[in-house]
Amino acid sequence: MTEMPSATRLATDIRAGRLTAVSAVTAAIADIEARDTRINSVTRIFGPGAVAEAEKIDRRIAAGDDPGPLAGVPFGVKDLFDVAGEVTTAGSVVLRESRPATQDATVVARLRAAGAIPVASLNMDEFAYGFATDNAHHGITRNPHDPARLAGGSSGGSAAAVAAGLLPFTLGSDTNGSIRVPASLCGVWGLKPTFGTVPRHGAYPFAASLDVVGPFAGTLEDLQMVYETMYGADMPDLPSVSTLRVGRLGGWFADNVSEPLARAIDAVSTHLGGAETVVLPEAARARAASFLITAAEGGNLHLPHLRRHAQQYDPATRDRLMAGALQPAATVIQAHRFRSWFRAQVHAVFRNADVLVAPATVGEAPRIDQPTIMVDGQSVSARANLGLYTQPLSLAGVPILSVPLAISGGLPLGLQLVAAPGREAALFAVAAELERAGLAGRVPLPMAKGR
């Protein structure tokens, strides 16, 4: 098995003439066709259009032009991003008869302008409502590290495609953890940027007051380059880690953590100077508020479709959306009031800390034939509860970097690095230090370890 090189290396070789964009794109497509049957991360390949785009890149290079820092790099998009000429279905047959997009989503257009080439749409939970990427229409996406286990969701296809080495980077969305959960379970890097800073235009919405779009990548260097392209500007220079105050989230974020993950977070905290424990008040209520707001906004968004096409929805998605649409207005208003209070509490923490460390999930990926996790001593649904540690933080609108831990020794484990709004540079600085120390990095597949 030959994995896709990093986006940075691939673009360097293409711009230098050592490789053509056409060969990179056709190799990616061939690899998807040969290997994705095992994990089911891809729902559609943009073959002819992608090859035509690659031919344009090669012609520009031959003419002495520079197509951009991501010249000829193939990438995939969660099937809720508009790609010109393609139908955006958001993982559902409800939208399959929609007209093809007339233009790219803003972030897709920015990546194209940098030379990158979209080659595939990627599997997801229907309308991004779930943490499993168990799609009634396209099937379940399997974890490349163990196909008997979940990849996580709702951006599971995006994480799995990178973990499998099919694509160097992909795009996903995160409302309550849909980048952070699958990145953690699949052992890749992921970023949920500060709310409102990366354009969502052309991305099918779920809960407008929470939705964020962001990248997955196999390397931290690629993640930063793709994020800056999506954002539309370079970040400030990364600060020295020695100047950053790092805290460790306790309380809610220390309960239910598996022993291997707890040990890994201990090692990370020790390396970062013995991070002081910080407890966020009312994290359980924050998670409940996130549930209520998501259900209400998603339910009301889908109400017109539900009235006309209810039977076309996955029943699990349909029932939750309908329940959300029926919530009393007073309940939703109370949830938003609590959100304002909780956001202020989170932001206040950053007066005394620059970066917070927290688990991304309770542990390794659950098995598909037993999709449960242990919470408070009880076996509960993974689809509903994998966001245990991601949902409360979503309310605050802060940037969060999902870090694949390189010290787990088995199936992937991940943590969240959390910073104040607009402080993505601090997250990348700490992540780079963990990578330098050998504590973080994309988790190799078992075959790549020689098993």
Q: How far does Cα 276 stand from its chain's mean position? A: 28
Catalytic residue among 78, 121, 158, 402: 78
DSSP state of 209: T
Q: How many Cβ atoms from other residues are within 10 Å of residue 25's Cβ?
A: 24
pLDDT of 34 reads 97
List beta partners, residue 213: 173
DSSP state of 345: H
User: Under a CB-based contact definition with an 8 Å cutoff, are residues 168 and 73 in contact?
Assistant: yes
Q: Which residues of 169-188 are buried (b: 16+ CB within 10 A; e: fewer)?
A: bbbbbbbbbbbbbbbbbbbb
Q: Which domains does the chain have, with CATH numbers?
A: 7-231 (3.90.1300.10), 241-436 (3.90.1300.10)
Nearest one of 23, 33, 21 to 161, comparing CA atoms = 33
Annotated active-site residue 449? The verdict is no
Angle at 320 between CA 314 and CA 325, to 5 degrees: 120
Three-state DSSP class for residue 170 = strand
Which class for 56: exposed (0-12), middle (13-18), buried (19 or more C-beta within 10 A)?
Answer: middle
Q: What is the pLDDT along the chain (451 residues), one digit of tens a residue?
A: 467 899 999 999 999 999 999 999 999 999 999 999 999 999 999 999 999 999 999 999 999 999 999 999 999 999 999 999 999 999 999 999 999 999 999 999 999 999 999 999 999 999 999 999 999 999 999 999 999 999 999 999 999 999 999 999 999 999 999 999 999 999 999 999 999 999 999 999 999 999 999 999 999 999 999 999 999 999 999 999 999 999 999 999 999 999 999 999 999 999 999 889 999 999 999 999 999 999 999 999 999 999 999 999 999 999 999 999 999 999 999 999 999 999 999 999 999 999 999 999 999 999 999 999 999 999 999 989 999 999 999 999 999 999 999 865 689 999 999 999 999 999 999 999 999 999 999 988 986 544 3
Annotated active-site residue 78? The verdict is yes
pLDDT of 1 reads 45
Catalytic residue among 6, 41, 92, 154: 154
Return d(Cα 337, Cα 324) in angstroms, integer: 18
User: Under a CB-based contact definition with an 8 Å cutoff, are residues 133 and 413 in contact?
Assistant: no
Q: Note the pTM of the prediction, 2 decimals.
A: 0.97
Catalytic residue among 178, 184, 269, 290: 178
Three-state DSSP class for residue 62 = helix
Angle at 161 between CA 156 and CA 163, to 5 degrees: 95
Annotated active-site residue 178? The verdict is yes
Nearest one of 180, 181, 157 to 40, comparing CA atoms = 157
User: Under a CB-based contact definition with an 8 Å cutoff, are residues 404 and 188 in contact?
Assistant: yes
Which class for 249: exposed (0-12), middle (13-18), buried (19 or more C-beta within 10 A)?
Answer: buried
Tokens read off for 315: 């029943």
Residue 246's contacts (CB-CB under 8 Å, 6 or more residues apart) are: 269, 272, 273, 275, 353, 354, 355, 356, 357, 430
